[in-house]
Amino acid sequence: MAPAAGPGCRRRFARDGRDAGTVPARSMSAATDGTLDADAEYTEYVRSRMTVWRRTAYLMCGDWDRGDDVVQRTMTELYRKWPKARRADNLDALVRTMLLRRMLDERRLGWFRVRLTTELPDRAAPAGSDPDDRVTLMAALRGLAPGQRAVLVLRFFQDLTVEETADALACSPGTVKSQTSKALATLRRSLTVKAGAR
């Protein structure tokens, strides 16, 4: 299911997260003073952030399709709340929190247990990286508890501070630090075992 970017606008994405095309949205009501109306503003906002949200969701769950479903649900919720959300002091932080809570809620409810897979998308690895290392790292990341994975994705992929991560996850900075420490220790153990098995 491809994430939608507002009513009348459907975005299609390749498995690697790149935009594969957009059908432009038509505004429900034209702004009379030349400014963007709410629908157009929503569409533009979603369009500008979609790639980062999709990659964040993928890193959180290890599967593009599941990540897309979470992003789709988050964008639907954001659209319903857009009149109020668009006035938020930090809209990016609000949406990030919505996305992470949706991801963690669905994990707790068991929706993500429907299908487990070791398949990774065909995606070019960054120059100089070993594809085997990437597969090993993604497998180790999927082996973490959801909360620990969320902390690592926010701290090291989203590049948030401890305090920003705590705000996004609605926990204390101490919890973020301890979860980061535990998650990194688990990753080190897992990667050491796998490196020894090679």
pTM of the model: 0.54
137-163 mean pLDDT: 87
Most confident of 57-66, 111-120, 173-182: 173-182
Residue 170: partners with Cβ closer than 8 Å, 6 or more residues away: 97, 101
Reported confidence tier of residue 8, pLDDT bands at 50, 70, 90: very low
What the chain holds in terms of domains, given with CATH numbers, is 1-21+35-119 (no CATH), 128-198 (1.10.10.10)
CA angle, corner 77, sides to 146 and 34, nearest 5?
135
Give me the percent of the chain exceeding a pLDDT of 90. Answer: 30
